[in-house]
Structure 1
Amino acid sequence: MSDRVCVGVVSGAFGVRGEVRLKSFCAQPESIADYAPLFTEDGKRSFDVTLTRQVKGGFSARLSGIATKEQADALRGIRLLADRAVLPSLPEDEFYHADLIGLEVVDTGGQVLGRVRAVHDHGAGDLLEIHGPGLSSTVLLPFTNAFVPTVDLAAGRIIADPPEGLFA
């Protein structure tokens, strides 16, 4: 498990005074600023965050050390991570997507189905993208109690009860 969790992404510059357009991945989107400093994935840069206003699809924000439109434009696509220690504790049945990626997925009989490659949220609930042996393409498994009865982070695995034929 990583010590940092992705909480947002810079989607570009906002205006001409160094503000950025920020997409928040937090359950309470405005709380992204509370988790600062936020770090780049390589850990080489960190930013304090001040949200300036809500805009379509996110917020405009000031990041410490960013003063020009050119500097803000250069951050487009940069994922921002927060230290896990400053994030709220999750209830027993909730997980950070970053913790699920890479977990081994086995069926209720112990047969390995694959590994979680990504977690997608298209509005109707999370889907686990699973890739594994014998699969010609990835499989999307709904992340529900019915299909994923057990997530064991300590053991690094998920026990799945997929619908008949999904992994055939």
Structure 2
Amino acid sequence: MSAATPADGVATASHMDTERPSRQQKTILLGRFTGAFGIRGQVKLESWTEPRDSIFRYQPWILRSADGAEREISGVRGKSSGKVVVADVPGVADRDAAEALRGTEILVSRAALPPPSAGEFYWVDLEDLQVVNLEGVDFGRVSHLFSTGANDVLVARGERERMIPFLEPDVIREVDFDAGRITVDWDADF
């Protein structure tokens, strides 16, 4: 299996308790608005999809402002334009309205993403899975993952936080969604 960035590839059933949102109910951060583009209300955005303009395929968007307020929006269109991605957002008709979106995060429901390819999974699918090493030491649950450029890193939080390189099969030995567990070859003292 391989880890996929938030906008790439997939998983199967996951074992979660009823208080946690199901994988399909979770949202995934795909980008954010970075400022106005021109004077007609177009907005520049940073996209973490690959290719970057494929962000427009996943709608509706949930826009989350800096104060945490969320609203859903559909019908956003756009394209890559040189080094930026430019969007036409319904209801945004001038530069001031476009600039007001600066910093707003763009999220989508996990259910809006395409089904994962065999042997892949979205990072969000790994969140909340239990992490244990080969000796059976419980490292806690997956909090989140991030990329360093060199490799991805899984963050497990239990009695303390551990950052584990997401290197398959050397470090990440097994991802078992049915059991709700990731087995790692990682020393408990690290």
TM interval, short-chain normalised? 0.7 to 0.9
The alignment status of 1:156 with 2:180, answered yes or no, reads yes
Structure 1 residues 78 and 124: CA distance shift in structure 2, 3 A:
same
Q: Displacement, 1:32?
A: 1.0
Take 2:48 and 2:143, find their aligned partners in 1: how far apart are those partners? Answer: 18
Contact 1:105 1:112 in 2 (8 A): yes
Q: Displacement, 1:129?
A: 2.1
Q: Which one of 113, 120, 138 corresponds to residue 112 of structure 1?
A: 138
Q: TM-score, normalised by structure 1?
A: 0.79
Take 1:68 and 1:157, find their aligned partners in 2: how far apart are those partners? Answer: 49
Take 1:130 and 1:147, find their aligned partners in 2: how far apart are those partners? Answer: 14
Contact 2:60 2:72 in 1 (8 A): no
| Matched pairs, number | 162
Contact 2:24 2:111 in 1 (8 A): no
User: Counterpart of 1:149 in 2: which secondary structure?
Assistant: strand
Q: Unmatched 5+ residue regions in structure 2? A: 1-22
Take 1:74 and 1:100, find their aligned partners in 2: how far apart are those partners? Answer: 34
Q: RCO higher in 1 or 2 (8 Å CA, sep ≥ 6)?
A: 2
User: Counterpart of 1:88 in 2: which secondary structure?
Assistant: coil
Q: Which one of 85, 90, 108 corresponds to residue 64 of structure 1?
A: 90
Report what 2:20 is aligned to: none
Take 1:72 and 1:36, find their aligned partners in 2: how far apart are those partners? Answer: 19
Structure 1 residues 157 and 40: CA distance shift in structure 2, 3 A:
farther
Q: Displacement, 1:112?
A: 0.9
Q: Which one of 68, 71, 75 corresponds to residue 48 of structure 1?
A: 75
Q: Encode CA deviations 1:54-112: one digit per residue, 9 max, x unaligned.
A: 243x4111112222223222322222222434422222332212222332211123321
Q: Displacement, 1:13?
A: 2.4
The alignment status of 1:28 with 2:51, answered yes or no, reads yes
Root-mean-square deviation over aligned CA pairs: 2.4
Tell me which amino acid in the other structure corresponds to 2:175.
V
Take 1:64 and 1:12, find their aligned partners in 2: how far apart are those partners? Answer: 16
Take 1:102 and 1:16, find their aligned partners in 2: how far apart are those partners? Answer: 44
Contact 2:139 2:162 in 1 (8 A): no
The alignment status of 1:12 with 2:35, answered yes or no, reads yes
